Amino acid sequence: MSIIGVGIDVAEIDRFAASLERTPALARRLFRTSELLLPSGERRGPASLAARFAAKEALAKALGAPPGLLWTDAEVWVEDSGRPRLRVTGTVAARAAELGVRSWHVSLSHDAGVASAVVIAEG
């Protein structure tokens, strides 16, 4: 296996939350329903959503930031163990296949008003 790409991104949580509040339709353009809601059905908090957005930005960077990727073609989900994972479909899966990506590694964090993510694409 070899590393095909690495991406990192940060998002200011308050600024991201304000963007979602100002433009309610933005959440549906960025996230799948499963990303917006907790298993209980409650909406995820702004820090969690900002970290997921940072992961999608980091994923795009790991793929070389090509135009035409759809945000909802990348889904951040969490295993029962708490480990974050990526599920890709459509435009993101096509670009990953083109580059030979076979697996993903993702790390999410948020602290002191900033959410961050690192994504490694492995082939």
The residues, any chain, with a CB within 8 Å of residue 96's CB and separated by 6 or more, are 63, 88, 121
Residue 9 marked as a ligand binder: yes
User: Binding residue per annotation — 57?
Assistant: yes
3-state secondary structure of 81: coil
* Spatial separation of the C-alpha atoms in residues 34 and 106, rounded to whole Å: 18
Q: Which residues does the annotation place in the binding site for Mg(2+)?
A: 9, 57
Q: Which residues does the annotation place in the binding site?
A: 9, 57
